[in-house]
Every structure is written in C-alpha cells, then in structure tokens.
Amino acid sequence: MEFATFGLTLAAILIAGVALLFGLRNRGDGGLAQAAEKLADQQAQLAGRLSQIAEGQAAAQARMAEQLQVQERAVTKMLDQRLAEVTRRVAEDLAQSSTRNTEAMGQLQERLAVIDAAQRNITELSAEVVSLQDILSNKQARGAIGQTQMEDLVRNMLPPGAFDFQFTLSNGKRADCVIKLPNPPGLIAVDSKYPHEAFMQLMGAKDDRARTLAEQQFKADVGKHIRDIAEKYIIAGETADSAIMFVPAESVFAELHDRFPTVVEEGFKRRVYIVSPTTLMATLNTIRTILKDAKMREQAHVLQKEIGELVKDVSRLDQRVGGLATHFDQARKDIEQIQISTRKIADRGGKIENMQLDGESKEPALRLVSDN
C-alpha cells in the first residue's frame, strides 16, 4: 500500500514539475525563480516523504522478518515434531516387521524341518516299498508273509490245542494249518495263497487288451489254488468236507468279490472258502464259539454227576438240620423245667423272708415243714 502511495506521489510531483517548467517558459525569468523555489520546497517535502516511507518500509520489513522468523520457528518446530513422530512410527514399524520376520523365519524353519523329516520318511518309505516289492517278488518270501500273518491270527483267536501248523495228512500233503473241531466236522485245513504276479499285472494294465489278459491270468491262478486245496486238504473220513483259502491281502479279496464272482462261486462249489485277514478273524471267532460249546457238551456228564452229589449233600444237610431242631426242642423243654424250678425257689425264698421270728406263732415254720 505504501509503495502504491509513493508511486502516485512521485508521479504527481513529476507532472507538477513538468507543468511548472512549461509555465515558467511562458512567464519568463521571474517566474522561473519562483518555480525553482517551489520545486525545491516540493523536493524537500518529497525527500522527507521518501525518508518516512523508507523508515516505514524498514520497520515493515523488520516486522515481516520477525514474523517470518516466528513462523519459521513454528514451522521448524512442527516439522521436528512431525519428523520425530514419523521416525517413531518408522522405528515401531521396523521393530514389528523385524519381529514378524523373525517369527516367520522361525515358522519357516520349523516347516522346513518338518518337510525335511517328511522327505526323509518318504525316502525311507520308498526304500521300504522297494524292499517290500523285492520280497513280494519272491514266492517263498510271499508265502512266509502269508503264513506268518495267518499263524498270528490263529494263535490270537483260538485256545492252545485247537490248532496245529504244518500238519501232515494221511495223503502225505502238508497243510499250513489245521483247526481241530470235534466230529463232525473234524479237521479244517487252512492254506495261505497270494496270487501276487497276476494281481499286479491286473492293477498295472494300461489298456483293454492288457487288462483282459491280466484278468484271465488272475482267474486261472486263483482257480488253480482252489482246485489244489480241494484235492489236497479235503479227505473223506479224515477232514471236514470244506477247507479255507487264506488271502493275506484285503485288496486281493475285495477284487475277487467285486470283479470275479465266478471264481468265488467255484470256491463254493468245491467247498473252498476264500477269506481275508478280516473275514478270517470273524471265522475264527465263530470256531472259538463252537469249540466252547463242544467243551461244554463234553463236560455235561461231569456237571450232572456234580449236581447229583450236590442234591445228596442238601438232603444230608436237611436231616442234620432236623436233628438239630429236635435237640433245640428238648433243650427248650429242659429250659422250661428249669424256669419252673427257679420260680418255686423264688417263691420259697419269699416265704422265708416274710416268716415271723418273734415266737408268737409257729404256723409258718410248720407250714414250711409241711411244704417240704
């Protein structure tokens, strides 16, 4: 505002000076002197005015500089506070991020440890699977596995003496196991069979032709096992009219009943019943019940004899109780006689206590003598 006033004043002075010069040129020298004086006065006034404006401008600049310093200090303080807050938040975020990263790294290490352990287990399992495949590829090893599994089930389910392993029949054939039941049915032969090659070919068939060939081979192998068991281990008059074929794999048993019902029916016709570990347990449980019932029937005559002796003992006990009751009756009568004598003694004692001893009358004494 002061700069605008100063500009207007300076413009007015210039205009007045120009007008004065034109006026002096028209008036002559006398007017020129007056004009010069007037111009000098105006210049002096202008100088004073300029001095005041300069002083005001300096004061304004000082005030403005002071305000700027105050504002700068406020802004600096605010910026410092904001910077401190930002620094604090950044530090907290970094600390939290570090904590989360540490936890994440710990969890990652734990998961990596679990993965490493799982990988080791998988490696070991793969080696064991390879070893198992090697074992299963050997017929003797497969037979040993099936035989061991069957023997464990029989030992766990049946009492000792109800079975025998590697039992030789009269025809010279040796059964893996025979279960000893009373006649009928008699001995039941159990033989372990595992058609591993044909089953693996069936599971690994990749086209219809390979699957058909594998099915034919599987049916042929199982059918041969059924016929062999029927011919070797079913002997009239020596064994039961049926035998058991133990398949030590639930998958093979399920495949037979699911896709090869004709093979199962052939087993029924030849009285060779195919069982898995699970169904063998159920069969052995039934056999155990039969053995228990047979044992009870064998002991029936012993039970009858013991019951007869028990009846005799009860009769003797009844007689003895009767004799004891007779003794009790006699004792009761004796006790009644004793009670009668006791009452008489008490009565006589009362009479003696009431007897007069002053010599006036002798009747009580005479009465006492007569009572005796």
Q: Strand 163-168: give its sheet, edge to edge.
A: 163-168, 174-180, 187-192, 243-246, 272-275
- Output the six-digit token pair for 36: 């010069």
pLDDT for the residue 76: 82
Q: How far is residue 364's CA from residue 91's CA, in Å, rounded to a whole number?
A: 132
pLDDT for the residue 366: 42
Query: CB neighbours of 262 closer than 8 A, spacing ≥ 6?
Result: 219
- Output the six-digit token pair for 230: 């029927």
CB 156 within 8 A of CB 141: no
Q: How far is residue 295's CA from residue 301's CA, in Å, rounded to a whole number?
A: 11
Q: How far is residue 239's CA from residue 179's CA, in Å, rounded to a whole number?
A: 10
Residue with tokens 């497969």: 142
| pLDDT by position in tens, the chain (length 372) | 544 555 555 555 655 555 555 555 555 555 556 766 776 777 777 777 777 777 777 787 788 888 888 888 888 888 888 888 888 888 888 888 888 888 888 888 888 888 878 877 776 665 554 444 544 455 555 557 778 888 888 888 888 888 889 888 888 888 889 998 887 778 889 988 877 777 888 888 788 888 888 888 888 888 899 999 999 999 888 888 899 999 888 888 888 888 888 988 999 999 999 998 899 888 888 888 888 887 777 676 777 777 878 888 887 887 887 777 788 788 888 888 888 888 888 788 777 777 655 444 444 444 444 444
Q: How far is residue 307's CA from residue 313's CA, in Å, rounded to a whole number?
A: 10
Structure-derived torsion over alpha carbons of residues 76, 82, 86, 88, reported in degrees to the nearest 10 = 90
Reported pTM: 0.46
The domain limits of the chain are 2-98, 141-298, 318-371
pLDDT for the residue 272: 92
pLDDT for the residue 9: 59
CB 214 within 8 A of CB 199: no
CB 65 within 8 A of CB 51: no
CB-CB neighbours of 200 under 10 Å = 15
Q: Is the Cα dihedral 348, 352, 356, 360 positive or negative?
A: positive
| Amino acid sitting at position 183 | N
Q: Is the Cα dihedral 246, 249, 250, 256 positive or negative?
A: negative
- Output the six-digit token pair for 273: 């019943």
Q: How far is residue 29's CA from residue 360's CA, in Å, rounded to a whole number?
A: 210
Q: How far is residue 267's CA from residue 194's CA, in Å, rounded to a whole number?
A: 15
CATH C-level class of 141-298: alpha beta
Query: CB neighbours of 233 closer than 8 A, spacing ≥ 6?
Result: 169, 173, 175, 189, 191, 239, 243
Q: How far is residue 47's CA from residue 36's CA, in Å, rounded to a whole number?
A: 16
pLDDT for the residue 68: 82
Q: What is the DSSP string of 89-133?
A: HHHHHHHHHHHHHHHHHHHHHHHHHHHHHHHHHHHHHHHHHHHHH
CB-CB neighbours of 291 under 10 Å = 18
